[in-house]
Chain A
Amino acid sequence: MTELLKIENLNKSFGALEVLKGIDLTVEKGETVVILGSSGSGKSTLLRCVNFMEIPTSGRIAIAGKPVGTERSRASGRIQVDYRESELIGIRATVGMVFQHFNLFPHMTAFGNVMEGPRTVLKLPRGECEARAETYLSKVGLADKMHSYPAHLSGGQQQRVAIARALAMEPQLMLFDEATSALDPELVGEVLQTIRSLADEGMTMLIVTHELGFAYSVASKVLFLSDGVILEQGAPDDVLVRPKQQRTRDFLRGHATYKLPDLAIT
């Protein structure tokens, strides 16, 4: 197996507020890592550090074996990492991100949204951009909605377009930040289905979600984040079924208050 993402002692503060306090995480190629944690525990911040939407305060991040940024020893003996914006732009182009609120470009059709990255960022020839838009919209099951504007799509469809938009960059890593939290319950399934099929195809993914059932079935590894540290991590069975930490148990209990009995019909 090859290491796609290696995070070492990652710290992130906003002013005096320490949000991430020494995160270590290794993600192998093809792994699906699910990140759990209560509100404010730093899940979004962790994802946003991985594609450098936020600049880490300290620590190392390497993607596909390549450390991002240039390390420099400071007089104090501490190691400082300098980041060039051009390098970070290159990273973001190879790491896809899907947001809770989709953030589609409302002035472009679904097709335009998906084509935008290849066209403006990768500067591919028009024909190839169109081919990619078709490929990835079909992949998320929206071949028939290519020429619709986001305003005319359901939330689930919009989120699938957003996934296609990220995939069109042909990223080596995908980040999902509560991709289904803003959706009506009946639309959650189609989006989870799309993410699941990506997992099956071997896409490497970091997923923040509150859908525990989905997490259990899709994850190769589950992390429980609490107050900016990884309190517990391991296989879904270890973290979700046999958690060792009391905080993890409390969190899981809080999320499974109304568990349905197994369906009587088959």
Chain B
Amino acid sequence: MGYEWDFGVVFRDFDLLLLGLVNTLKVTGLALLFGVPLGLILALLRLSRHGVIRIPVGIVIEFLRSTPPLVQLFWLFFALPILTGINITPFIASVVTFSFQSSAFFAEVFRGGIVSIEKGQWEAAKAIGMDRGQSMRRVILPQAVKRMIPAFLERVIELMKTTTLVATVSYADLLYEANTIAQATFRPLEVFTVAAAMYFAVLFPVSLFVRRLERRLGRTGEGTVH
């Protein structure tokens, strides 16, 4: 079958694709901005000694992790307005959904890093008179952060790929723009090929960086968590 490739139509509308990419990065970036600190808070709460804090937070995290992000997005965008009467824009719905959704995953990455630190470190900190907060800040987290960087970056890559779902609520991300152009030009093959290449161009370097980092951390004998 001889297919006539014609990338001309794609590049005529390339600025739209770029705009889409910017919007994808915007949602990803904002989801990180809110999701990372929220994830750290959730992780710390889930490590609380008090069951009344630990258990509900655990349930929230597991709920967010075990429901499809698309369902969460639809619920926020289509279902919540029925309940509250407040309509939210696709952009807000996307950012809120992915902030919460990613925070649950980040929380588990952070928690994994924290619990991977040997008990002796807590003991040594306690023995010189540190309270739990000081031990966490000065002794545990600085070591844990190093161990969780690779797993964390994997999650960031995952997050950016998952944001393609926002196209379904008509938020003009890269996938949405690609789809629009494909339908207008009848050139889905070229359009989606270019779109895939654009995702790849952003994510592959991150992925390479993670790989390098893991090797380096592995060499210095610092284990990493997943």
**Which of these binds chain A: B12-20, B126-134, B200-208?**
B126-134
Verify if A241 is at the interface (C-beta below 8 Å from B): no
Do B123 and A53 have beta carbons less than 8 Å apart? yes
Q: Beta-carbon contacts of B118-152 to A below 8 Å, as 1s and 0s?
A: 10110111111111001000110011001000000
Verify if A107 is at the interface (C-beta below 8 Å from B): yes
What's the minimum C-beta distance from A137 to chain B, rounded to whole angstroms? 15
Verify if A65 is at the interface (C-beta below 8 Å from B): no
CA distance A122 to B129 in the complex (A): 9
Asked whether A104 and B129 contact (CB < 8 A) given A120-B134, A120-B138, the answer is no
Q: Which residues of B contact A106 (CB under 8 A)?
A: 143
Do B124 and A103 have beta carbons less than 8 Å apart? yes
Interface size on B, residues (CB 8 A): 19
Q: Beta-carbon contacts of A97-114 to B below 8 Å, as 1s and 0s?
A: 101010111110000000
Verify if A85 is at the interface (C-beta below 8 Å from B): yes
Q: Looking at B124, B130, B221, which has the most chain A CB atoms within 10 Å of its CB? A: B124
Do A93 and B124 have beta carbons less than 8 Å apart? no
What's the minimum C-beta distance from A159 to chain B, rounded to whole angstroms? 12
Do B143 and A107 have beta carbons less than 8 Å apart? yes
What's the minimum C-beta distance from B57 to chain A, rounded to whole angstroms? 22
Do B143 and A121 have beta carbons less than 8 Å apart? no
Do A116 and B128 have beta carbons less than 8 Å apart? yes
Q: Which of A111-160 contact B (CB under 8 A)?
A: 116-117, 120-122, 151
Q: Which residues of A contact B142 (CB under 8 A)?
A: 107
CA distance A85 to B120 in the complex (A): 20
What's the minimum C-beta distance from B143 to chain A, rounded to whole angstroms? 5
Q: Looking at B120, B124, B127, B221, which has the most chain A CB atoms within 10 Å of its CB? A: B127
Do B120 and A117 have beta carbons less than 8 Å apart? no
Do B120 and A99 have beta carbons less than 8 Å apart? yes
Across the interface, name the chain B residue whose C-beta is closest to A85. B131
What's the minimum C-beta distance from A261 to chain B, rounded to whole angstroms? 39
Do A101 and B120 have beta carbons less than 8 Å apart? yes
Do A105 and B124 have beta carbons less than 8 Å apart? yes
Q: Which residues of B contact A53 (CB under 8 A)?
A: 123, 126-127
CA distance A169 to B124 in the complex (A): 13
Verify if A51 is at the interface (C-beta below 8 Å from B): yes
Do A89 and B143 have beta carbons less than 8 Å apart? no
Verify if A60 is at the interface (C-beta below 8 Å from B): no
Across the interface, name the chain B residue whose C-beta is closest to A104. B124
CA distance A121 to B139 in the complex (A): 13
CA distance A105 to B138 in the complex (A): 9
Do A92 and B121 have beta carbons less than 8 Å apart? no
Do B124 and A151 have beta carbons less than 8 Å apart? no
What's the minimum C-beta distance from A117 to chain B, rounded to whole angstroms? 4
Q: Which residues of B contact A120 (CB under 8 A)?
A: 130, 134, 138
Q: Which residues of B contact A169 (CB under 8 A)?
A: 128-129
Of A93, A99, A103, the contact of B129 (CB 8 Å cutoff): A93
Q: Which of A64-112 contact B (CB under 8 A)?
A: 85, 89-90, 92-94, 96-97, 99, 101, 103-107
Of B118, B130, B146, the contact of A121 (CB 8 Å cutoff): B130
Q: Which residues of B contact A97 (CB under 8 A)?
A: 127
Of A96, A103, A116, the contact of B138 (CB 8 Å cutoff): A116
Across the interface, name the chain B residue whose C-beta is closest to A121. B129
Do A92 and B138 have beta carbons less than 8 Å apart? no
CA distance A99 to B124 in the complex (A): 8
Q: Looking at A117, A122, A166, which has the most chain B CB atoms within 10 Å of its CB? A: A117
CA distance A117 to B128 in the complex (A): 6
What's the minimum C-beta distance from B121 to chain A, rounded to whole angstroms? 6
Verify if A43 is at the interface (C-beta below 8 Å from B): no
Q: Which residues of A contact B131 (CB under 8 A)?
A: 85, 89
Of B126, B128, B221, the contact of A166 (CB 8 Å cutoff): B128
CA distance A89 to B142 in the complex (A): 22
What's the minimum C-beta distance from A88 to chain B, rounded to whole angstroms? 9
Across the interface, name the chain B residue whose C-beta is closest to A113. B124
What's the minimum C-beta distance from B55 to chain A, rounded to whole angstroms? 22
Q: Given known contacts A116-B128, A120-B134, what 16 new A-B pairs fall within 8 Å (CB)?
A: A51-B127, A53-B126, A85-B131, A89-B129, A92-B129, A99-B124, A103-B120, A103-B121, A103-B123, A103-B124, A104-B124, A105-B125, A120-B138, A121-B130, A121-B134, A169-B128
Seen from chain A, the residues whose Cβ lies within 8 Å of a Cβ on chain B are: 51, 53, 85, 89-90, 92-94, 96-97, 99, 101, 103-107, 116-117, 120-122, 151, 162, 165-166, 169
User: 8 A–B contact pairs at CB < 8 A?
Assistant: A51-B127, A97-B127, A99-B120, A101-B120, A106-B143, A122-B129, A151-B221, A166-B127
